Structure 1
Amino acid sequence: MHKLVILGAGESGIGAALLGKKQGYEVFVSDGSAIKDLYKQELAVNHIPFEEGHHSWDVILGADEIVKSPGIPEKTELMKKVRERGVKVISEIELAWRCSKDASKVIAITGSNGKSTTTAMTHHIFKTAGLNAALVGNIGVSYAKQVATDPADYYIVEVSSFQLDDIVDFKPNVAILLNITPDHLDRYDYKMQNYVESKFRIAMNQTKEDYFIYCIDDPVIREHLAKKPIYSTTIPFSIMEQLKEGGFIANDQLNIQVNEEEPVIMSMYDLALKGKHNLYNSMAAGIAGRTMDIRKEKIRESLSTFSSLEHRMEYVATVRGVDFINDSKATNVNSVWFALESMERPVILIMGGVDKGNDYDAIRELVREKVKAIVCLGVDNRPIHEALSKDMEVMVNTDNMHDAVSQAFNLASKGDVVLLSPACASFDLFKNYEERGRSFKDEVRAL
């Protein structure tokens, strides 16, 4: 019997365990930390053995195959031993794809920024067209859990570089690569090229029948494609130039031209989501819909009715003429660049948290141009002060959300925007970016 060991009992690990069990594998789950009660119940109900707080080396190293949580770095003692023993390691998306590839189509979306928005928007297009599509991956239910419990005809999957690092045969019918900017470099030996190659793994098994949709305006993507061509049918999108095929802007209109069919054309001003970055996201999602023969009327309708995600440029409230926007999902500098770039009014910026070796140079110009004051929210705010104090006269330190929101409100005048866009991970003060965003919204509503 195939022995499958799952390392890590988070959302993806539990999904992999349920799917492995359904496939008739002998499944064992091992987590070096405590497992959440909810997940423990799920394992118990499904009679899946597990351990927490430690790893049983003999069981793990005796596996036929290991599904590794995307959060476990290769540097750990555990992974070094696994690699030495030569046990096959795959990611949860590999397992899910293997068990669903014959009965469904997969649209996989990656990029340093905009993945969640584009994934949700693509799902909205497929649902609007009446298709049986599931929204899975980093954004909600794990891909494996969906395959195990409620299979769909189409899987719209948000994938991270960490998940792509452990694929073997994973081959999406449509792959979208939105952009590549420095992020998580600590996991890639601080080498940008390693991170770039990790992102491009999304297309490594694709053939001519598959589509690779990419941003031709991104210099890192362009450079990599020039050096290492890929085998799928490529469809670019751009806001800088007009293209023969793909997505582009002309005369304030969004154009999507795929496979010599009649183009989808709609006014930029009819798009539900505003800002330059959302033009890219809308084009990528629209092209994905067209590759799967969704009618152009449905694509236009979807792109004009999509509502934005929680914690991603989410409008919270207006208090005495000051707008509050929750962009807690902005966990890197580039996300903050996109947020500031779309701002039309003066900004009080709340930022800070666990700094992943951020280079704040990218946002200095926008900070000078659009930000009135910065409220730092974190245990250690020094990196932000060192990087931006020359560009910003007013900088305030806080170490809890209540103070951050009230300080920002005091610094704002009528017509300003208070923007929570942290540029950092949240685990110094919060469990995750969702908790940080909800805390922000609670404090705003209490003003």
Structure 2
Amino acid sequence: MVDKREEFKGKHVLILGLAKSGFAAAKLLHSYGAILTVNDRTPFEENEQAKELADKGIHVICGGHPLSLLDGRIDYVVKNPGIPYSNPIVKGALEKNIPVITEVEIAGIISKADIIGITGSNGKTTTTTLIGEMLKNSAKRPLVAGNIGTVLCEVADRATEEDVIVAELSSFQLMGTRTFHPKVALLLNLFEAHLDYHGSMEDYGAAKARIFAAQTPEDYTVYNESDERIRELVKHSKAKKIPFSTKSICEDGAYIKDGIVYFQNEAIIPLEKIVLPGKHNLENILAAISAARLSGAKQEQIVHVLATFSGVKHRTQYVGTVEGRKFYNDSKATNILATKAALSAFNEPIVLLAGGLDRGNEFDDLKPYLNQVKAIITFGQTAPKIERVAREAGIEVIKRVDNVEEAVPVAYGTSSPGDVVLLSPACASWDQYKTFEQRGDIFIDAVHKLK
């Protein structure tokens, strides 16, 4: 069998942007014999990753993105997913017909293991985690990777035919793929997100659809039958189509009937035995069951996971109860759809903590979901926008604070025993925090201080 790693031997590759993915790709391609130039905007003196690569003999250019990088032979540009396509070097490479890829494409080329790819606007991490757990004790060892934490190409490099990779994939990552085709591709949902990057909903949907663009009739596309946009996109998939829905009977896929979850007409588990909270998670569960069964998961393992798995950190995560108030960390809710789902998960009165990076959108779509919200604590760039919607929704208690840490004691003082205090920002964290994880950890620490 031809070693696909030979694809990069002797090739001239420009790594554009480091961070986790670029750093991993650079080390990997260097080990394969690629001729590398690494470019990162952080000055060399402050760039530990660049220093480590330079010590390996790799050509490193830091402090900016000079167009002269495109002079001479370049076979591939491997870009950090966060770098937009408006970047002059990216535009210049595309004009010269140089392939611009992300490390996900590299992973697809080199992997000896089948890949399950999961994408969607919301629910990716929960679904990825569920599938990884469901595949334990099956014929193949699950390796969880991608946007969930571990760089995909690193995992693909060590994976064997005895493994199966379960990969969370973002639209940013998928845009940089050409031949990548997972054995099982999941498209969970589509909501207006990252339009500052993609420019339009059509382009955003097209980026998500890259997950099945290169699939063959031997592969599977698992998709949300209830999402009209997704139904249109998957018409172009050449793979076997496996639908799931919480609203209709999908005999070819996963569905709910008479309070029981089914996959291809086989009963899996009664809803009452599933411990993961929230109606929105039922779609994630149906998608996960589909992918797991198609990949060889055992029935008893699937049932065990659904009867014991209570959630992922920062995703409607139960933090604790203080004087009768239940605190939940949903810092991963970086868009309106995610916050809608979180608000729908509870029947109790809610004190909502929300706000963050202003991407130019309004929050009127939240109004129908605020009927249980008795008070709202805002922070970040979008605080005024969220407060306007709260006033129009009839919420009487609206308070603004500087940050999440200040919001927790204010929320406690505003709440009563029996209430839910919910951090579900409906915004990205980057105006105040490096990541949504940092924002969520600060919330958790502040709750523990209350205790």
Whether TM-score is above 0.5 comes out as yes
Aligned-pair distance for 1:269?
1.7
Match of 1:54 in 2: 64
Q: Superposed, which structure 2 residues align to 1:264-303 within 5 Å?
A: 264-303=267-306
Q: Superposed, which structure 2 residues align to 1:22-41 within 5 Å?
A: 22-33=31-42, 39-40=49-50
Match of 1:98 in 2: 109
Match of 1:85 among 78, 96, 101: 96
Q: For residue 342 of structure 1, what is the amino acid of its counterpart?
A: A
Does 2:451 match 1:442? no
Q: For residue 330 of structure 1, what is the amino acid of its counterpart?
A: A
Does the aligned pair in 1 maintain the 2:242–2:252 contact within 8 Å?
yes
Does the aligned pair in 2 maintain the 1:333–1:358 contact within 8 Å?
no
Does 2:441 match 1:416? no
Question: Gaps spanning 5+ residues in structure 2: where?
Answer: 1-9
Q: Superposed, which structure 2 residues align to 1:60-139 within 5 Å?
A: 60-62=70-72, 63-100=74-111, 103-129=112-138, 131-139=140-148
* Cα pair distance change 1:268/1:45, threshold 3 Å: farther
* Cα pair distance change 1:150/1:10, threshold 3 Å: farther
Q: Secondary structure at the match of 2:377?
A: strand
The whole-number CA distance in structure 1 between the counterparts of 2:128 and 2:110 is: 21
- Number of residues of Structure 1 aligned to a counterpart in Structure 2: 437
Deviation string 1:405-431 (CA, Å, 9 cap, x unpaired) is 111111100010110000111111111
Does 2:229 match 1:220? yes
Q: For residue 348 of structure 1, what is the amino acid of its counterpart?
A: V
Match of 1:164 in 2: 174
Match of 1:250 in 2: 257
The whole-number CA distance in structure 2 between the counterparts of 1:248 and 1:302 is: 18
Does the aligned pair in 2 maintain the 1:19–1:147 contact within 8 Å?
no
Aligned-pair distance for 1:99?
1.0
Name the stretch that deviates more: 135-144 or 295-304.
Answer: 295-304
Does 2:241 match 1:241? no
Q: Runs in 1 of length 4+ with deviation above 6 angstroms?
A: none
Does 2:352 match 1:349? yes
The whole-number CA distance in structure 2 between the counterparts of 1:59 and 1:148 is: 28
Q: Secondary structure at the match of 1:33?
A: coil
The whole-number CA distance in structure 2 between the counterparts of 1:49 and 1:433 is: 33
Q: For residue 5 of structure 1, what is the amino acid of its counterpart?
A: L
Q: For residue 374 of structure 1, what is the amino acid of its counterpart?
A: I
Q: Secondary structure at the match of 1:235?
A: strand
The whole-number CA distance in structure 1 between the counterparts of 2:169 and 2:263 is: 24
Match of 2:201 among 182, 186, 192: 192
Does the aligned pair in 1 maintain the 2:138–2:296 contact within 8 Å?
no
Aligned-pair distance for 1:148?
3.4
Deviation string 1:295-346 (CA, Å, 9 cap, x unpaired) is 2222212222324211111111111111111100100000000100101211
Name the stretch that deviates more: 8-17 or 319-328.
Answer: 8-17
Does the aligned pair in 2 maintain the 1:350–1:422 contact within 8 Å?
yes
The whole-number CA distance in structure 2 between the counterparts of 1:396 and 1:200 is: 41
The whole-number CA distance in structure 2 between the counterparts of 1:155 and 1:83 is: 30
Aligned-pair distance for 1:53?
1.9
The whole-number CA distance in structure 1 between the counterparts of 2:54 and 2:129 is: 32
Aligned-pair distance for 1:87?
2.1
Question: Gaps spanning 5+ residues in structure 1: where?
Answer: none
Aligned-pair distance for 1:277?
1.3
* Cα pair distance change 1:46/1:291, threshold 3 Å: farther
Deviation string 1:158-196 (CA, Å, 9 cap, x unpaired) is 11111111111001100000001110112222x212211
The whole-number CA distance in structure 1 between the counterparts of 2:312 and 2:53 is: 30
Aligned-pair distance for 1:79?
2.0
Q: For residue 95 of structure 2, what is the amino acid of its counterpart?
A: E
Aligned-pair distance for 1:127?
2.2
Aligned-pair distance for 1:145?
1.7
Q: Secondary structure at the match of 1:212?
A: strand
Q: Secondary structure at the match of 2:136?
A: helix
Does the aligned pair in 1 maintain the 2:90–2:100 contact within 8 Å?
no
Q: For residue 391 of structure 2, what is the amino acid of its counterpart?
A: S
Does 2:416 match 1:425? no
Match of 1:140 in 2: 149
Does the aligned pair in 1 maintain the 2:278–2:344 contact within 8 Å?
yes
Does 2:343 match 1:332? no
Deviation string 1:110-138 (CA, Å, 9 cap, x unpaired) is 00010111011111111243632211111
Aligned-pair distance for 1:358?
3.0
The whole-number CA distance in structure 2 between the counterparts of 1:374 and 1:121 is: 32
The whole-number CA distance in structure 2 between the counterparts of 1:105 and 1:216 is: 25
Does 2:445 match 1:403? no
Match of 2:217 among 193, 208, 216: 208
* Cα pair distance change 1:324/1:61, threshold 3 Å: farther
Deviation string 1:203-255 (CA, Å, 9 cap, x unpaired) is 11111110000111112212444xx4321100101111122221111111111
Does the aligned pair in 2 maintain the 1:16–1:96 contact within 8 Å?
no
Name the stretch that deviates more: 284-293 or 323-332.
Answer: 284-293
The whole-number CA distance in structure 2 between the counterparts of 1:60 and 1:146 is: 30
Match of 2:239 among 215, 229, 232: 232
Deviation string 1:336-373 (CA, Å, 9 cap, x unpaired) is 00100101211100000102233423221111x21011
Q: For residue 404 of structure 1, what is the amino acid of its counterpart?
A: A
Match of 1:321 in 2: 324
Does the aligned pair in 1 maintain the 2:251–2:263 contact within 8 Å?
no
User: Structure 1 vs Structure 2: percent identity of aligned residues?
Assistant: 38
RMSD: 2.0
The whole-number CA distance in structure 1 between the counterparts of 2:365 and 2:43 is: 38
Match of 2:185 among 175, 180, 196: 175
Aligned-pair distance for 1:17?
1.1
Q: Secondary structure at the match of 1:446?
A: helix
The whole-number CA distance in structure 2 between the counterparts of 1:307 and 1:30 is: 42
The whole-number CA distance in structure 1 between the counterparts of 2:310 and 2:343 is: 20
Name the stretch that deviates more: 435-444 or 29-38.
Answer: 29-38
Aligned-pair distance for 1:10?
1.2
Aligned-pair distance for 1:85?
3.1
Q: For residue 170 of structure 2, what is the amino acid of its counterpart?
A: S
Name the stretch that deviates more: 63-72 or 147-156.
Answer: 147-156
